[in-house]
Amino acid sequence: METELKLNASRLADPTDVIRNPWISDLIMPDSGQSINMDSHYFDTADGVLRNCGCSLRLRTENEKRIVTVKAGNSAGGGLHQRMEWSAELDEDETDLLSAAGLDVAWLLRTAVSDGDPVDQLYDILQMVNGKPLLEICRVTFTRLVYDIGYGGTLMELALDEGGLYAADRMAPICEFELELKEGDARDLVELGQELLARYDLEPENRSKLARCLALTGLE
C-alpha cells in the first residue's frame, strides 16, 4: 500500500526555499538527498480498460533504472493518496515486455515487488489487459529532489517534483511536493503535511499526475 500526501507548490517563487528552511532541513536524514530524472510513460488499452477501473500501468525511467508499476486506487481527499502498488525493475536486455503487442503478464506476476499488497489483486488487474495491444496515453517528465525525513518517530520521503505533463499534444507544468510514508504512523505524515500547508503557500493536490494528464485529453 502506497500512502502519500501531494501538495501543489506552483504558487511558490522558489519551492527549494522550503527544503532549505531550518525547520525542514533539521528533519532531513544525513546524506539522504539525491536528484533523480524521471521519465514516465503511461499505457492503457484503446478502450481504456485500466482507466475505467481506477488502475494505471506505468513504465518509468529513473536515471538509469527502468521500472514497470501497476497501481490501483484513488485519492482519499485532502491531498492524501492511498493506493495498491506493484513494481518490477527491468534488466538491460528486457525491451519488449511492455509494447504494442501487450504486456508480459507472466513476467510481471513473477517479478513484481509489493509491500503487503495481494498478488491475486494484481493478477485480476493484469487479466483485464492480457493479450490486448497497449497504447501510450501520456507522458510525465520531471526532476525529483528527494530526501529521507524523520518526524515524530516516522520515516517518510520528501520529494520535490518539477517538470511537465504531456498528453494529446498539450502540455501543463507540474511543481509539487510529495510526502510518502516509509515506516511508522500515517498520522505523522498528515501532521507534517498540515504544518507545510500552514507555513507555505501550498495546496492539497487530490489528482495524481496521470489524472492531470487525462484532464488534458478530456478523459478525466
Cα 133 from Cα 219, distance rounded (Å): 19
pTM for the structure as a whole: 0.91
**Three-state secondary structure of 153-201:** CEEEEEEEEEEEEEECCEEEEEEEEEEEEEECCHHHHHHHHHHHHHHCC
pLDDT tens for 139-157 read 999 999 999 999 999 999 9
Percent of the chain at pLDDT exceeding 70: 92
Q: How confident is the model at residue 7 (pLDDT cuts 50, 70, 90)?
A: very high
Which residues lie closer than 8 Å to 8 by C-beta, 6 or more apart? 175, 176, 202, 203, 204, 205
Strand residue runs (E) in 73-169: 75-77, 80-89, 98-99, 102-103, 135-151, 154-167
Distances (CA, A) of 100 to 12, 46, 103, 107, 137: 40, 11, 8, 16, 12
The reported pLDDT for the residue numbered 37 is 97
Q: Is 73 helix (H, G, I), strand (E, B) or coil?
A: coil
CA–CA gap between residue 205 and residue 16 (Å, rounded): 18
95 in helix, strand or coil?
coil
Helical H runs in 26-100? 49-52
Alpha-carbon distance of 78 to 186, in angstroms, equals: 14
Q: How confident is the model at residue 91 (pLDDT cuts 50, 70, 90)?
A: confident
Residue 141 contacts residue 164 (beta carbons within 8 Å):
yes
CA-wise closest residue to 82 among 116, 58, 119:
116
The grid coordinates of residue 20 equal 532549505
CB 137 within 8 A of CB 44: yes
Average pLDDT in the 120-131 region?
87
pLDDT at 100 over 60: no
pLDDT, residue 89, reads 87
* 3-state secondary structure (DSSP) of residue 48: coil
Here the cell at position 160 is: 520535490
Cβ neighbourhood burial of 114 (10 Å; 0-12, 13-18, 19+): middle
